[in-house]
Each structure stands twice: as structure tokens, then as C-alpha cells.
């Protein structure tokens, strides 16, 4: 029964899509930006969309740049892969705004990394290894000692409370509350609380 319902819905949607393409000029004008917005909004790469839809990466890229007009079948495959309402995509209906909230009690925390440190993971799991955001809570005298990350990796440290001694390779600097430091993280690096407890935000940006 569920399979039959899906087939019926798909047939109705496909017919609706066919009728909408009659107004092709208006559709093709707004399609590239909306298709790209739908993809990037879900954090999907061109390669990922290509695998999900069966449409080649180069074709997806050309459609997003407005250099190619998709067939009905291609557009159908893309909207199914992106799990978007193609009627809204083409007609301009807005998808309800969504806000994802991670409550304080649900934030993953690492307690056994470094000495006197607690690290709260603020970035979503899919950003691991790409663009990671942490809240650092370091006790007075505590140290977060890190081995080199991937080549080209950098960190951005903003101290909210307290002061730290920051070391990156052979370079050393003192960073106080309100300061932001940017430094190489593909070398040995170290963050040490030097005058009371420290609270800071750390962004790890991998190359």
C-alpha cells in the first residue's frame, strides 16, 4: 500500500512538473540559484548530489551556473535527491524557516583531553575534519596540548574569560580576554591557562 501511494504521488508530481515547464523562461531564470541554495543549505557537495541523483557532477554544476537547461527527468532526479518540493523550488514558494537548537544539556563534552580541560563540541558531526567549533573551559594552570593536525590546518582562538599562553611551533604569545589569535595548527600547539580559569571559543579550520 505504501509503495502504491509513493508511485501515485510521484506520478502526480511528475505531471505537475511537466505542466510547470511550459513557462520555461521564468523557471530557468530562477532555477539555478534556488537549486544551488537547496544543495548548499543541506551541506552537500556537487559530488554528493551527483551520486544521489545519478546526474553527472558537470551537469549539476552547469545547471547551477545557468549554462544548461535540465530536462524534466533530470530536474525530477535532482529534486528527489535534494528532498525538496520542486513546486516550491520552481514557483517560488518559501520553505518554512527552521532553527536547529542544541540545548546546553545536550552538547557533547570531552573531559579527558589535556589537563584540567573540558571541551564542548558546538559544531555538527558532519563538520568534523572540516570546520570545527569548540568551547574551551580550562582550569587555572590547565593545559590543552595538541599534536599537529592535517597539513595547512589553522585555529582561531577567542578568549572570553582569563588569559592563556599560546604556543604554535616555535612562536609563543599571551592572549587575554577579548583577544583573538589565529595560528598554524599543523605543528605542535599548546593552550595554557596562566591567570585563573579560562573560557574560550576555538575554531579549527582544516585545509
pLDDT digits (tens, 9 = 90+) for 95-115: 567 888 888 888 889 887 788
pLDDT tens per residue, range 13-52: 444 444 444 445 555 567 788 888 888 888 888 888 888 8
Q: How far is CA 110 from CA 7, 114, 118, 143, 196, in A?
A: 47, 10, 6, 14, 21
Q: What is the rounded average pLDDT of the residues 130-148? A: 93
For residues 197 and 144, is the Cβ–Cβ distance under 8 A? no
Under CATH, which number does the domain 104-205 receive?
2.60.120.10
Per-residue confidence (pLDDT) for residue 44, from 0 to 100? 87
Q: Where are the domains of the chain?
A: 2-91, 104-205
C-alpha grid cell, residue 11: 506520478
Q: What pTM does this model have? A: 0.54
72 band by pLDDT with thresholds 50, 70 and 90: confident
Q: How far apart are CA 96 and CA 99, in angstroms?
A: 10
Per-residue confidence (pLDDT) for residue 156, from 0 to 100? 97
Q: Which residues are within 8 A (CB) of 21 and not within 5 positions of it... i.e. 6 or more apart?
A: 27, 72, 75
With a cut of 50, say whether residue 3 has pLDDT above it. no
Q: What is the rounded average pLDDT of the residues 158-170? A: 97
Under CATH, which number does the domain 2-91 receive?
1.10.260.40
Chain mean pLDDT for the chain: 81
Q: How far is CA 48 from CA 42, 44, 59, 78, 132, in A?
A: 11, 6, 13, 11, 21
Q: How far apart are CA 110 and CA 108, in angstroms?
A: 7
Per-residue confidence (pLDDT) for residue 87, from 0 to 100? 62
With a cut of 90, say whether residue 189 has pLDDT above it. yes
CA within 13 Å, CB half, 21: 15
Per-residue confidence (pLDDT) for residue 191, from 0 to 100? 97
Amino acid at each position: 500500500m505504501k509503495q502504491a501511494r509513493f508511485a501515485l504521488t510521484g506520478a502526480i508530481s511528475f505531471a505537475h512538473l511537466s505542466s510547470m515547464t511550459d513557462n520555461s523562461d521564468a523557471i530557468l531564470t530562477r532555477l539555478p540559484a534556488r537549486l544551488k541554495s537547496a544543495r548548499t543549505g543541506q551541506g552537500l557537495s556537487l559530488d554528493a548530489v551527483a551520486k544521489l541523483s545519478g546526474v553527472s557532477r558537470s551537469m549539476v554544476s552547469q545547471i547551477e551556473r545557468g549554462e544548461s537547461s535540465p530536462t524534466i527527468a533530470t530536474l525530477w532526479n535532482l529534486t528527489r535527491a535534494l528532498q525538496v518540493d520542486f513546486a516550491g523550488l520552481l514557483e517560488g514558494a518559501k520553505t518554512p524557516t527552521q532553527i536547529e537548537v542544541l540545548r546546553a544539556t545536550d552538547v557533547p563534552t570531552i573531559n579527558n583531553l589535556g589537563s584540567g580541560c573540558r571541551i564542548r563540541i558546538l559544531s555538527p558531526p558532519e563538520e568534523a575534519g572540516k570546520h570545527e567549533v569548540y568551547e574551551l573551559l580550562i582550569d587555572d594552570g590547565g593545559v590543552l596540548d595538541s599534536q599537529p593536525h592535517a597539513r595547512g590546518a589553522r585555529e582561531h582562538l577567542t578568549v572570553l574569560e582569563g588569559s592563556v599562553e599560546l604556543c604554535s611551533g616555535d612562536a609563543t604569545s599571551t592572549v587575554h580576554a577579548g583577544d583573538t589569535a589565529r595560528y598554524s595548527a599543523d605543528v605542535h600547539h599548546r593552550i595554557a591557562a596562566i591567570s585563573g580559569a579560562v573560557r574560550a571559543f576555538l575554531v579549527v579550520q582544516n585545509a
